[in-house]
Structure 1
Amino acid sequence: MKLPQDRTVANVVSLVLCGILAGVVIAAAAFPAVGVSGLTAKSASDSFSDLPAELKIPPVPQISTLLASDGKTEIARFFEENRRNVKLADIAPVMRQAVVAAEDNRFYEHQGVDARGIVRAFVKNQSNGETTQGASTLTQQYVRWILKYGAKNKTEKKLATEDTAGRKLREIRYAIALEKELSKDQILENYLNINFFGNQGYGIYAASQAYFSKPPSQLTLPEAAMIAGMAQNPTQYNPVNKQNGTKAALDRREYVLNQMVKLKYVTQAEADAAKKAPLGLKPKASSGRCENGNTNFGFFCGWFLDWWKSNPAFGKTRTEREENLNKGGYRIISSLDVRMQNGAQKEIDKRLEAGSRFATGIVMVEPGTGRVKAMAINRKFGIKKNPGGKTYPYTTNPLLSGSQVSPGYQAGSTFKMFTAVAALEKNIPLSHSIYAPDRYTSQYTGSCKTGGNKYCPKNASPSMKGLQTMSSAFGESANTYFIPLEEQVSVKSAVDAAEKAGVEFRASVDIDNKEAAQTDPTAWGSFTLGTAQVSPLDMATAYATIAARGKYCAPLPLKSITDQDGKQLTEVANPTCKQTIPQQVADAAADMARCPVGDNSMVGLNCTHPGGGRTAASVSRTIDRPVAGKTGTTDDNNAAWFVGFTPNLAAAGFIANPDKYNDEVKSTQIPIDATREAMNTALQKLPVKNFVAPTNKLAFGVRVTVPYTTGDSVDAATSKLRSAGFEVRVSPTRENSDQGEGRVARTDPAGGSSSTKGGVVTITVSNGQAPEPEKPEDGQDPGDGIRDQICAANPDLPMCQN
């Protein structure tokens, strides 16, 4: 027999008053199919009281935002759920009222569980024979979200979401406990931040952006009512969903407005006016990741993401670290300087279009911190389809930062810096003289028409021929000076200097060559001429190490980072630096590097030899402050570089075809011009700083006379040279000479010349065959020309007295 409705209500209320609400009524209200069979009042109340009351609130997934160094310009967002928490004070009052009216109109009266609502739902569900009303309060709904996000495994997640009486009991128990711990405003704030409102709007901030492109503080009455209506069924009422159209959203908005009138939040007139208002949707796409962020900063963003995933501070694995970024709600202020970035991009865009098969770009690094200030390139960071099956202009390959997939580009003569550093570390000074022929046959394995199976590079210009110092050879980029210098210090030492400065070898061929050079003195002779592939970020970092007086700082994309609780993570945002090159060595290297750019040595060393010229003299004419740098080109102009630096900024610019390394570049001047102008712009707001002058020891060394050893045995010559204070190296290549086979044919530096004490003297041994006479050039005795140059540099030598 069916009881009248008022009698049913009375019976249910009696149960509530008897304390069996949790065990029977709630289950029946929410799940009529369960009914009361098998549930006694005692067992229900026992199971309810046995439930824990303490609810641990887990962190809720939030957007992590990557900003430029100004703290304002957004680079990209990272998220699993598009959510950003806001304070209740930053949510429009009508929005707070609308969600209470839509979901829980007795929110400010109950203590977590609404008995009247449960009774209403019970009666309605029993009458219909199905669940049509669930009677969950805002507090209970909030608890449900907490349990879902706090689930550590599939079982716990199922318990948090399954339609069972047990789940309902847990929600009620926790809701009652939660209301004792948090105020109503705290619960409402948390609910608005955790609830899903459809259209990728997790939380009220994302929802107000997703539907109206505005912050929640600016929501109007009709806008707030529409969003509040989403809470019950985000799919059914979503007006952006074309399948549903706007009718469902308008009907639901009208319901919410009517509820707001009943609760006296708004007048009938205000509600009627709101009902007539159009939806006024202005949806804002909620896209995350670098390829969907600010296109001007895409390659920096891509490098930042790789840096994050490689950093153990953010998790045990790359997957876990990325997951933490997508959920952590970090506010990341990066090192990227918008002014420098835009200036560099402007210079790049001016010189090469995005549709070119060649890539040209600039990376800027701050010496002493490693913070990366700019990453500009004529490519677009993205996954859009390229025309005609090309690999450009859209790509996500790390063309500026490097990887095993994209290891970089041959850096040419910029690598001479590392041979020079290795020499300076062995106390070979900047004034160290070597005669640089037009072509030099080295000890290294290779192939050469004139040198057989030996590596025998030549200079880019005949004007470089002659007696060169380290400074002048660097200023002119004389290959045939740096190959014999490399022989004196070893490839192994030069490679070590490069790595200490910040170069990373990623290409398999370079890794193999590096390994070979550890034990084989004839391996990888082309190293000093830059045949290794390297990224622009590495080169900017390496030259920044020189600029910072030998202090290497790991490349850093951060200025600061704050987690969702407002805690500053200072350790990961601080520079990681160490002294890898002695200060005095770096000072001397920086002084040498002033020669190519048109600046002058601080200790008066000549930056070119007679008849020579600097490779990038335009740099100092543009940048009106102490500046240094080095150009670099590869064989057949397959790549071109310029790396410039001041004490407070280093920049590396390049041009190459990333897909075809043997493609001749459009213009080797582009990196010089673009980097020079970009640096000039970047430096405008930085203080003028000077370099530190090199010591006399590393500039000039302690000069002593090289003993005459021609005709001596190798052992005897070695003994004489060591007694005079020199290190000795014996060339593996023998040459024609008037001396007997196995005797010393000559030394470099020559016997009787002045050289640096502690420096290297190379002995070349005779093969016993008489030399072929050289043809005079322009009617002059070639020997006289060499002697004239030696004597010009060393007038006190005995050979120069006649």
Structure 2
Amino acid sequence: MKTGDTLARLRDLATVGFIAGMLTAALLLPYALMGGLSVRAADHGFQSLPADLVTPALPQSSVILAADGSKLATFYYENRVEVPFAQVAPVMRKAIVAIEDSRFYEHGALDVKGTLRAVIANLRAGEVVEGGSTLSQQYIKNALAEMADNAQERRSALEPTAGRKLRELRYAVGLEKRFTKDQILEKYLNIAYFGDGAYGVEAAARHYFGVHAADLTLDRAAMLAGIVRSPTTYNPHLHPKRGRKRRDLVLNRMLQLKVITPAEAAAARAQPVRLKITKTPNGCVTSSAPFFCDYVQREILGNPVFGKNLRQRRALLQRGGLEIHTTLEPKMQKAAQHAVDRHVPPKNSSGKAAAEVLVRPGTGEITAMAIDRKLGDSSKRGMMWVNLAADADHGSSLGMQAGSTFKVFTLAEALRQDMAFGDKLFAPKEFVPTGFRDCAGHRVGDSTALGNAGDGEGGHDFTLVTGTWHSVNTFFLELERKVGLCETYKMATRLGMRKATGGKLQQYPSFTLGFNTVSPVRLAAAYAAFGARGRYCSPIAITGITSPKGPVKVPSAGCHQAIDSDVADAVNHVLGGVLTKGTAKGNEIGRPAAGKTGTVDNFSSAWFAGYTPDMASAVWVGDPRGGYKHPLRDVCLGEGCFAQVYGADVPAPIWRDTMTEALQGVPEHGFSAPSGGFFRKGSGEEEEDKDKKDKKDKDDAKGGDQPGRDDESPFLNWLLQAFRP
């Protein structure tokens, strides 16, 4: 050996001896029982530190599940799935102990021999090949970092100071007294960071290899065990060569400790690094039902049921390890998404949008929520953050004017006041809204005349039935004046309607024409109440939540009988004709159904709300930039081009296609027949039949003057009569 090499080795040994001596002295100082004031003072200081650390509940990812158990989204502060000791492969436990604390099962909170050996081994290797801290101390360090409330506290928990090491050691002593070695190792495996955003061994196994921690093989276990010393340096995803070298070092250490055989070590070293990186998306953007997912997220973040303040609720969602069971049915979600995308393509040239919500009558369960956009940056075409289907507190939307879909509340109030199907009102061509009072008794209205430019025409009598079928504005204004604006308002609120901003509906004569801005989810829930024979349920998206600590309370739908079942049956009877003889004719779905079109003033948007006893839906079509500036005029959408869009032109076909697909395989149920008292003045269809007869007579009269008819040939006419079968 050359003189220079000898001197270098001596210097190395001297350095090792010095560092080992200093480290040993520092670690043993609290335990020194020799005389001397400074030692006793140091020991007193150590003993005065708290011995018990309340081990924190580790942040665990939460998952949102559809009604069939399929995953919709994951939320996390740290991507972690905590698992018990038995669900970690034994080879993984051995690997982490071998490389981080090989005498773990032999020593207490402090391992002087292991620490000295680690210092010497690391200096000789020129890199960190063994850990100096025990696994108990490492767990304490990570636990203190997890308990930090802010970045400064986290830095303090991790900074390399003597004070921190002393605190860790004191806590480690307490930890070793309270838990078994296996329990401590379980805690460590669940808290350790494995790089690439994976916290804990289960998340790491899923992330790097697409398997559970219980299924890790020797080579994969060694790879993961090698990462924790420096999660960036030894990350095999970022540095495959370095990661493999570190893996082999772990295998060598396991072999040295006789944890594995030479044959096992050789076979594992021969394995190439085969990663199957499985990203765990955080949030709703990549969900198969992104806007429904966002609705659920906002429900948890905004409802005091889940915490006193936003901070607590966010911590519950991102750290609580929740399993959130929801009402969404993938089959119905797909049906709704297909329909809105087909009729209003996400990147249509006119910039129009569509939103649809499905609600199950009698339960309030939201089974689908579809928008013809992706959840994301609203400045990009075909994307938006605002949930047009929801209220402001669940999606930032300020709502959209409801149009003629609100006429159903005036109809329901008229039937509640015992009006009959055959009751008639004259519908003028223009209506001056006077004689109205709100619920405070104030006169409301002005001298501006309202007309029938939307869905129907006036100028003669209509019954409750025919006025509804043709959606005649002036008829409903007359009807609202007759039954009372306040009473109509109360009917709407009994059925859950409120402004999308959360405020009360405004009361003006045009209330029945739907000037209030509402959300599709609320409208769908209101129409669902008719399908449930008057039983109203608040729309709900969550059926249950479980956490590691047990069940979490969730909001109730608060189902109750909002209106008499007989009134609901009568409404269903009238609205059934809208699909067969009224403004939505041609949008039948092959089973009993009812609904109402809605066209907002100046064609600023269009609606259709329809239902069966099994499912209700509300569809809105309009322009997110503002309907009055960008009306539904001269637009080309998925199914064609339109001079102007009525509720029957695009929203009703969306509803029809959705319901037809969504209800496949669902048993057909019909509506209950209304009581006979509603027919005391006839069916209400007589005027419709009379109008049709008058029109036919006029057509026949016109036809008699046309050349080429059979009655121009007497002989041919006699021949047809003579040989009539």
Shift of 1:198: 0.9
Q: Within the alignment, does 1:656 sit opposite 2:622 as a pair?
A: yes
The one of 121, 133, 137 equivalent to 1:136 is: 133
Shift of 1:255: 1.2
Kindly tell me: are residues 334 and 461 of structure 1, through their superposed partners in 2, closer, same or farther at Cα, counting changes over 3 Å? closer
Match of 2:203 in 1: 206
Query: Aligned partners of 1:47, 1:661: CA distance in 2, in Å?
Result: 72
Query: Aligned partners of 2:459, 2:187: CA distance in 1, in Å?
Result: 77
Match of 1:750 in 2: none
Match of 1:413 in 2: 404
Shift of 1:507: 6.5
Match of 1:454 in 2: 448
Query: Aligned partners of 2:79, 2:160: CA distance in 1, in Å?
Result: 26
Shift of 1:331: 0.8
Match of 1:312 in 2: 304
Query: Aligned partners of 1:66, 1:197: CA distance in 2, in Å?
Result: 25
Shift of 1:632: 1.3
Query: Aligned partners of 2:185, 2:578: CA distance in 1, in Å?
Result: 66
Write the mapping of 1:240-639 to structure 2, written as runs, cut at 5 A.
Answer: 240-241=237-238, 245-291=239-285, 293-294=286-287, 296-356=288-348, 357-383=351-377, 386=380, 392-403=381-392, 406-443=397-434, 453-458=447-452, 466-506=460-500, 514-515=505-506, 517=507, 524-565=508-549, 567-569=550-552, 571-572=553-554, 574-598=556-580, 613-620=581-588, 622-624=589-591, 626-639=592-605
Query: Aligned partners of 2:32, 2:610: CA distance in 1, in Å?
Result: 78
Would the aligned equivalents of 1:443 and 1:454 in 2 still touch at CA under 8 Å? no
Kindly tell me: are residues 8 and 319 of structure 1, through their superposed partners in 2, closer, same or farther at Cα, counting changes over 3 Å? closer
Query: Aligned partners of 1:366, 1:462: CA distance in 2, in Å?
Result: 30
Query: Aligned partners of 1:423, 1:352: CA distance in 2, in Å?
Result: 36
Match of 1:192 in 2: 189
Query: What SS is found at the alignment partner of 2:450?
Result: coil
Q: Which runs of 5+ in 2 are unaligned?
A: 1-10, 437-444, 634-641, 683-693, 698-725
Q: Which amino acid aligns with 1:264?
A: K
CA offsets, 1:536-578, max 9 Å, x none? 112111111222333332221112211133x122x31543334
Query: What SS is found at the alignment partner of 1:556?
Result: coil
Query: Aligned partners of 1:340, 1:616: CA distance in 2, in Å?
Result: 22
Would the aligned equivalents of 1:439 and 1:459 in 2 still touch at CA under 8 Å? no
Would the aligned equivalents of 1:360 and 1:655 in 2 still touch at CA under 8 Å? yes
Kindly tell me: are residues 154 and 637 of structure 1, through their superposed partners in 2, closer, same or farther at Cα, counting changes over 3 Å? closer
Query: Aligned partners of 2:214, 2:35: CA distance in 1, in Å?
Result: 49
CA offsets, 1:359-388, max 9 Å, x none? 1232101122211100122211123862xx
Shift of 1:192: 1.2
Query: Aligned partners of 1:342, 1:126: CA distance in 2, in Å?
Result: 61
Match of 1:647 in 2: 613
Query: Aligned partners of 2:457, 2:379: CA distance in 1, in Å?
Result: 49
Query: What SS is found at the alignment partner of 2:576?
Result: coil
CA-based RMSD: 3.9
Query: Aligned partners of 2:509, 2:184: CA distance in 1, in Å?
Result: 70
Q: Which runs of 5+ in 1 are unaligned?
A: 27-35, 387-391, 446-450, 518-523, 599-612, 703-776, 781-802
Q: Which amino acid aligns with 1:595?
A: G
State the identity %: 37
Of 637-646 and 58-67, deviating more is: 637-646
Would the aligned equivalents of 2:195 and 2:231 in 1 still touch at CA under 8 Å? yes
Kindly tell me: are residues 311 and 77 of structure 1, through their superposed partners in 2, closer, same or farther at Cα, counting changes over 3 Å? same
Of 155-164 and 665-674, deviating more is: 155-164
CA offsets, 1:636-683, max 9 Å, x none? 433222111122311111211121303125454222122122112222
Query: What SS is found at the alignment partner of 2:183?
Result: helix
Q: Which amino acid aligns with 2:529?
A: T
Write the mapping of 1:113-132 to structure 2, written as runs, cut at 5 A.
Answer: 113-120=110-117
Would the aligned equivalents of 1:22 and 1:169 in 2 still touch at CA under 8 Å? no
Q: Which amino acid aligns with 1:138?
A: L
Q: Which amino acid aligns with 1:338?
A: P
CA offsets, 1:467-511, max 9 Å, x none? 322233222222222110111233333233223212221479x97
CA offsets, 1:508-552, max 9 Å, x none? 9x97xx55x3xxxxxx32221223322211211111122233333
Would the aligned equivalents of 1:365 and 1:541 in 2 still touch at CA under 8 Å? yes
Would the aligned equivalents of 2:99 and 2:131 in 1 still touch at CA under 8 Å? no
Write the mapping of 1:681-720 to structure 2, written as runs, cut at 5 A.
Answer: 681-696=661-676, 700=680
Would the aligned equivalents of 1:474 and 1:596 in 2 still touch at CA under 8 Å? yes
Would the aligned equivalents of 2:537 and 2:557 in 1 still touch at CA under 8 Å? yes
Query: Aligned partners of 1:210, 1:251: CA distance in 2, in Å?
Result: 20
Query: What SS is found at the alignment partner of 1:375?
Result: strand
Shift of 1:257: 0.8
Q: Which amino acid aligns with 2:62?
A: S
Write the mapping of 1:716-727 to structure 2, written as runs, cut at 5 A.
Answer: none
Shift of 1:594: 2.0
Match of 1:57 in 2: 55
Q: Which amino acid aligns with 2:526?
A: A
Would the aligned equivalents of 1:20 and 1:45 in 2 still touch at CA under 8 Å? no
Match of 1:23 in 2: 30
Would the aligned equivalents of 1:545 and 1:553 in 2 still touch at CA under 8 Å? yes
Query: Aligned partners of 1:76, 1:596: CA distance in 2, in Å?
Result: 39
CA offsets, 1:672-721, max 9 Å, x none? 1221221122223434334344445566599xxxxxxxxxxxxxxxxxxx
Of 209-218 and 155-164, deviating more is: 155-164
CA offsets, 1:716-763, max 9 Å, x none? xxxxxxxxxxxxxxxxxxxxxxxxxxxxxxxxxxxxxxxxxxxxxxxx
Query: What SS is found at the alignment partner of 2:525?
Result: helix
Would the aligned equivalents of 2:432 and 2:446 in 1 still touch at CA under 8 Å? no
Query: Aligned partners of 1:354, 1:156: CA distance in 2, in Å?
Result: 46
Query: Aligned partners of 1:384, 1:254: CA distance in 2, in Å?
Result: 49
Of 398-407 and 253-262, deviating more is: 398-407
CA offsets, 1:408-427, max 9 Å, x none? 33322111011122333444
Kindly tell me: are residues 476 and 385 of structure 1, through their superposed partners in 2, closer, same or farther at Cα, counting changes over 3 Å? closer
Query: What SS is found at the alignment partner of 1:454?
Result: coil
The one of 67, 75, 81 equivalent to 2:65 is: 67
Query: Aligned partners of 1:22, 1:253: CA distance in 2, in Å?
Result: 36
Shift of 1:199: 0.8
Query: What SS is found at the alignment partner of 1:249?
Result: helix
Query: Aligned partners of 2:46, 2:537: CA distance in 1, in Å?
Result: 60
Shift of 1:301: 1.3
Shift of 1:459: 6.3
Equivalences, count: 647
Kindly tell me: are residues 278 and 533 of structure 1, through their superposed partners in 2, closer, same or farther at Cα, counting changes over 3 Å? same
Kindly tell me: are residues 178 and 462 of structure 1, through their superposed partners in 2, closer, same or farther at Cα, counting changes over 3 Å? closer
Kindly tell me: are residues 75 and 539 of structure 1, through their superposed partners in 2, closer, same or farther at Cα, counting changes over 3 Å? same
Would the aligned equivalents of 1:302 and 1:396 in 2 still touch at CA under 8 Å? no
